[in-house]
């Protein structure tokens, strides 16, 4: 079931009937949702719900999906079109860093790939280092960083070119509370700048704290979309916290992907 947001202007991203299968295994079954400009949209679901596959399709990593994507009302084909990918920033679940390069060198390299040059690149790198809290360690090799520092750099690289839509795939996995808090603060700053963010997680408190709206996914489908209180209403337990709503909607059986 889906509840698309009604808006006078087209949504920033529209996902319509998105389906995908890995050989014999169906990963997504007609997924529908819309994301408006400036919001943090959460994709919440147990393991194997289809969150990462959804992000991969939107990011352009997977191409042979069914359904349609639209960006500001126009057809959006990031797998085929590098121009469409220019709108996106991606923070993958796995740390995607060159450990033998410094943070600055990583930022320079990935900044170059998204088309930043010379002065713009230098400015973007400095902003990214501030966002990640890595100014002091910018010229140290990444392999000397803690897990939290790497996570912060991972985020800083994804938003380096100020993309229209930032996709974060479980960015806090394996991070200590201090670094997680720093990441949240960084995301709050991005929200204040008006950035649009898709945030996948299976931590309820993260979704509740950060996301304006949340889509709960299970077994390859979106089973509910809305604010935390709207989701509680949809689950028939008004005022309940997100964890209870989530378990009510997805059930208590184990999910093994």
Partner 1 sequence: MSSLLATSIQVAKKDLRLYFRDRTGVILGFLLPIGLVGVFGFVNKMAFGSEGGLSRSTLWYVDEDESEKSQQFLASLRTANTLRLRPRSDDPAETRETLEDKLHDGEAHHCLIIPAGFGASLAGGKLPPLQMLRDPGRDLEGQMISIGLLQGLFAAAGTDSSHLLTARALQLAGLPEAWNDRIQQVSRGFQTSVELLFQEAEEADRRPPSQNQGAEPPEQSTSSGPDFLSIMNGLVPVDYTDFAPPERPKMLSYFLAQSVSGIGVMMLMFGLIACASMLIKEREDGTLPRLMVSPAPRDAYLWGKFLFALIIGAAQLVVLFAFGNLVFDVDVLRDPITLGVVSLAVLVAVTAFGMLVAAWASTIKQAEGVSTLVILTMSALGGAWYPIQTIDLPPLASLATHSTITYWAMTAYQGLFWHGKPWTDPVMLRSMAVLLGFAVVASIAAVWFYRRRYAGRRPA
Question: 174-203: which residues touch partner 1 (CB under 8 A)?
Answer: none
d(CA 257, CA 247): 17
The stretch among 37-45, 77-85, 180-188, 241-249 that binds partner 1 (CB under 8 A) is: 77-85
Among positions 7, 113, 130, 135, the unique one binding partner 1 when judged by CB under 8 A = 113
Q: Which is nearer to partner 1, 142 or 249 (CB)?
A: 142
Among positions 11, 13, 28, 59, the unique one binding partner 1 when judged by CB under 8 A = 59
CB of 152 to partner 1, least distance (A): 16
Among positions 9, 83, 117, 119, the unique one binding partner 1 when judged by CB under 8 A = 83
d(CA 167, CA 41): 10
Q: Is 60 in the site for partner 1 (CB under 8 A)?
A: yes
Which residues have CB under 8 Å from 143's CB, separation 6+? 99, 100
d(CA 236, CA 177): 33
Other C-beta atoms closer than 10 Å to the C-beta of 88 total 22
CB of 96 to partner 1, least distance (A): 4
Q: Is 97 in the site for partner 1 (CB under 8 A)?
A: yes
d(CA 219, CA 215): 13
CB of 216 to partner 1, least distance (A): 24
Q: Which is nearer to partner 1, 85 or 213 (CB)?
A: 85
Q: Is 230 in the site for partner 1 (CB under 8 A)?
A: no
d(CA 58, CA 85): 9
Q: SS3 for 173?
A: coil
Q: Is 90 in the site for partner 1 (CB under 8 A)?
A: yes
Q: Is 173 in the site for partner 1 (CB under 8 A)?
A: no
Q: Is 92 in the site for partner 1 (CB under 8 A)?
A: yes
Which residues have CB under 8 Å from 18's CB, separation 6+? 28, 30, 31, 32, 54, 57, 65, 66, 67, 68, 69
Contact 131, 160 (CB under 8 A): no
Residue 223's H or E segment, with its range, is strand 221-226
Residue 130's H or E segment, with its range, is helix 118-132
Q: Is 114 in the site for partner 1 (CB under 8 A)?
A: yes
- Interacting residues toward partner 1 by CB under 8 A: 22, 59-64, 78-79, 82-83, 85-86, 88, 90, 92, 94-98, 110, 113-115, 157
């Amino acid at each position: 079931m889906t509840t698309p947001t009604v808006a006078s202007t087209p949504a920033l991203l529209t996902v319509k009937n998105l389906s995908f299968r890995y050989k014999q295994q169906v990963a997504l079954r007609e997924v529908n949702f819309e994301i408006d400009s400036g919001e943090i949209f959460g994709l919440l679901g147990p393991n194997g719900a289809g969150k990462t596959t959804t992000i991969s399709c939107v990011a352009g990593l997977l191409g042979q999906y069914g359904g349609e994507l639209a960006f500001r009302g126009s057809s959006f084909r990031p797998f085929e079109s590098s121009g469409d990918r220019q709108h996106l920033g991606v923070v993958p679940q796995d740390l995607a860093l060159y450990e033998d390069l410094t943070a600055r060198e990583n930022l320079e390299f990935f900044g170059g790939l998204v088309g930043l040059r010379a002065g713009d690149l230098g400015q973007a790198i400095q902003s990214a280092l501030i966002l990640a809290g890595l100014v002091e360690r910018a010229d140290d090799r990444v392999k000397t960083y803690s897990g939290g520092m790497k996570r912060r750099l991972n985020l800083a690289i994804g938003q380096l070119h100020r993309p229209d839509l930032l996709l974060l795939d479980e960015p806090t996995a394996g991070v200590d509370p201090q670094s997680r808090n720093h990441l949240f603060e960084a995301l709050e700053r991005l929200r204040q700048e008006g950035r649009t963010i898709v945030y996948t997680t299976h931590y309820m408190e993260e979704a509740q704290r950060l996301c304006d709206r949340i889509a709960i996914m299970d077994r390859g489908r979106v089973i509910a979309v809305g604010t935390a209180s709207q989701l509680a209403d949809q689950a028939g337990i008004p005022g309940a916290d997100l964890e209870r709503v989530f378990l009510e909607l997805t059930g208590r059986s184990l999910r093994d992907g």
